[in-house]
Structure 1
Amino acid sequence: MTSDDHRTLRIRDLAPGDHAAVLALNLESEALLSPMDGARLLELLRETAYHRVLVDDGDRVLAFLLAFREGCGYDSPNYRWFQAHYPRFLYIDRIAVSSTQQGRGLGAVLYRDLFAFARAGAAGAVACEFYSQPLNEGSSRFHAKFGFGEVGTQWVAEGRKQVSLQIAAL
């Protein structure tokens, strides 16, 4: 695939050499994501079904996405909500796009790849959540374009934020 400025972009599995870049991207977006250090990243990678990065022609990580299948030991309250309500799903835990690359459709590139992965693995549905209080309007619009709809809500962050729990059927 090519981007607007003609660089070649590709998706590949997250490799150990990507960890520093992934942690930096997560930190850059931490207002919308859970904090993650190196130990937590390794813990998550042991459980993820999908852990891919989008890189440029210089193999620089521009974005990443982590997702979990049902039945794993992931400790997220949002993941556990879907586990309690859906027999088969692929849960998007986090996606981050470099602030210098936002607005170029890189998140959509990763989502299209994730949906293909979910279909190939007979996931049944793709699950996610985003903040509804305070509302993350950009995320709400983005997920609507992929056919997500609200199936529940819950309060997180010690009652300071509410998430909209979303499902997109495959």
Structure 2
Amino acid sequence: MERTNRDLGSLDAGITLQLNNAHAKETSELDLAHLNTILSMACYARGVDQGKTAFLIALDHTAPYQNPNFAWFKRAYQSFVYIDRVIVAESARGHGIARLLYEDLFAAAPRAGIHRIVCEVNLEPPNPASDAFHLAMGFEKVGQAVLYNGAKTVNYFAKNLG
């Protein structure tokens, strides 16, 4: 299986969008314009097979991102890289691709002077595989929020890098 990740750009957005929307329950559904906006703000956007097999998109604390989870981290920390979404296609799970993307991000963030990675994981609707993955990658739970009039509950996680 191909495990090379590369930067994603607007030319990859249509392919990435298909994988994103197939997993909207775990992340959120996007349209092409919104995905391109997120990609334009990203400090890190990498994927496997142009985002068809897997991708990770992250924004640093300076991004003008309007999102309740990002806003929570802005209130909690001065400096961070926020993982907005990471998805691995069902057919590619269990091959270490998410770990590869995370380790690449963990190496890139300190080069940019940022030593904290943050993210949220759904508690409701539940996403136990993501909880287990983030704990195994060294993240710690740092908070929780109920969003969208109770439709979603998330746990907030952070990992300090060296």
Amino acid at match of 1:19: A
Query: Which stretches of structure 1, 4 residues or longer, exceed 2 Å deviation after superposition?
Result: none
Aligned equivalents of 1:42 and 1:116: distance in 2? Answer: 25
Q: Which moved more, 1:88-97 or 1:119-128?
A: 119-128
- Is contact 2:141–2:158 with CA below 8 Å preserved after alignment? yes
- Is contact 2:120–2:155 with CA below 8 Å preserved after alignment? yes
Equivalent residue, structure 2, for 1:95: 86
Aligned equivalents of 1:14 and 1:151: distance in 2? Answer: 30
**Which among 10, 13, 38 is matched to residue 32 of structure 2?**
38
**Which among 131, 143, 149 is matched to residue 158 of structure 1?**
149
Aligned equivalents of 1:106 and 1:21: distance in 2? Answer: 17
Mapping 1:48-127, distance limit 5 Å: 48-55=42-49, 61-127=52-118
RMSD of equivalent CA atoms: 1.4
Structure 2 residue 135 is the aligned partner of structure 1 residue 144: yes
Amino acid at match of 1:88: S
Identity %: 34
Amino acid at match of 2:149: E
Equivalent residue, structure 2, for 1:26: 20
Task: Give 1:157 shift.
Answer: 3.0
SS across alignment from 1:158: helix
SS across alignment from 2:69: helix
- Bigger CA radius of gyration: 1
Q: Which has the higher helix share?
A: 2
SS across alignment from 2:30: coil
Structure 2 residue 160 is the aligned partner of structure 1 residue 169: yes
List runs of 5+ in structure 1 lacking aligned partners.
1-6
Aligned equivalents of 2:91 and 2:130: distance in 1? Answer: 18
- Is contact 1:28–1:99 with CA below 8 Å preserved after alignment? no
Aligned residues: 161
SS across alignment from 2:94: coil
Decide whether aligned partners of structure 1 residues 8 and 67 sit closer, same or farther in structure 2, where only a CA change above 3 A counts: same
Amino acid at match of 1:150: K
Decide whether aligned partners of structure 1 residues 94 and 60 sit closer, same or farther in structure 2, where only a CA change above 3 A counts: closer
Task: Give 1:24 shift.
Answer: 0.5
Aligned equivalents of 1:8 and 1:147: distance in 2? Answer: 26
Residues 47-72 of structure 1, C-alpha deviation per residue, up to 9 Å, x if partnerless?
111111123xxx67311111010022
Structure 2 residue 129 is the aligned partner of structure 1 residue 135: no
Task: Give 1:21 shift.
Answer: 1.2
List runs of 5+ in structure 2 lacking aligned partners.
none
Q: Which moved more, 1:86-95 or 1:46-55?
A: 46-55
Relative to the length of structure 2, the TM-score reads 0.93
